[in-house]
Amino acid sequence: MKKYMRYVLYLISLFIISLGAAISIKANLGTSPLICIPYVSSIITNLSVGTTTFIFGFVLVALQIIILRGDFEKRQYLQIVMGTIFSAFIDFSLMLVDFINPVDYVSQLVVLLVSCLVIAIGVLLEIKTEVIYLPPDGIIVALSKALKKEFGKIKPYCDVTFVVITVILSMVFLGYLAGVREGTVISAIIIGPIVRVLKKYFDPYLDLII
């Protein structure tokens, strides 16, 4: 039973992460680092955010192979399959949260913070189930293994890198800054620590389930 619960929780984690990413878009204070590159790419290419998320994931899997080389687990190629499911979840989640339209800065900030918490919960479940990483988390895990550092300590640096790339793409292809605002910086700073805090308090309960 626990074996099946692990996979059920994993699929739930993918949906939760996609939901958090969609909520961050609706906050309109700058998207979460998880989704900022696909979001800006969707504006540039007129493709759906889900489609550009899939392409971005494919690139990240390739980078993992380069970083880990022989240590890259063959089962992690399934990140491409899971990335496809996650991409579909992204577009679906955007439809689900279409009603969220914060009208003032305070409500935007609240929505942003909710998105950070939701993403952190999803990431915690994803990592805990140890099934297949999503490409954005897979690259962080790859770097944490290569550098021998904790996931939560590497994540902020990766998030900042995603943001910088988004800024460059925006200015080069759009001529203005899209998808990056103070909310992006807030997300980049606090999601990793939130994951660490949640892990500390919820790990024992998750161990009982899986």
Backbone conformation region of residue 22, classed left if phi is above 0, alpha if psi is from -120 to 50, else beta: alpha
Q: What is the DSSP letter of 100?
A: -
Residue 63: per-residue pLDDT: 93
Cα distances from 25 to residues 37, 100, 163, in angstroms, run: 12, 10, 14
Q: Provide the pLDDT for residue 14.
A: 92
Transcribe 12-80 into DSSP letters.
Answer: HHHHHHHHHHHHHHHHTS---HHHHHHHHHHHHH---HHHHHHHHHHHHHHHHHHHHGGGS-GGGGGHH
pLDDT of residue 2: 61
User: pLDDT averaged over consecutive 10-residue blocks of the chain (210 residues)?
Assistant: 78 93 91 88 94 94 91 86 92 94 93 93 85 85 86 80 91 90 85 86 75
The pLDDT value recorded for residue 33 is 81
Q: How far apart are CA 85 and CA 17, in angstroms?
A: 12
Phi and psi at residue 2, to the nearest 5°? -65, -35
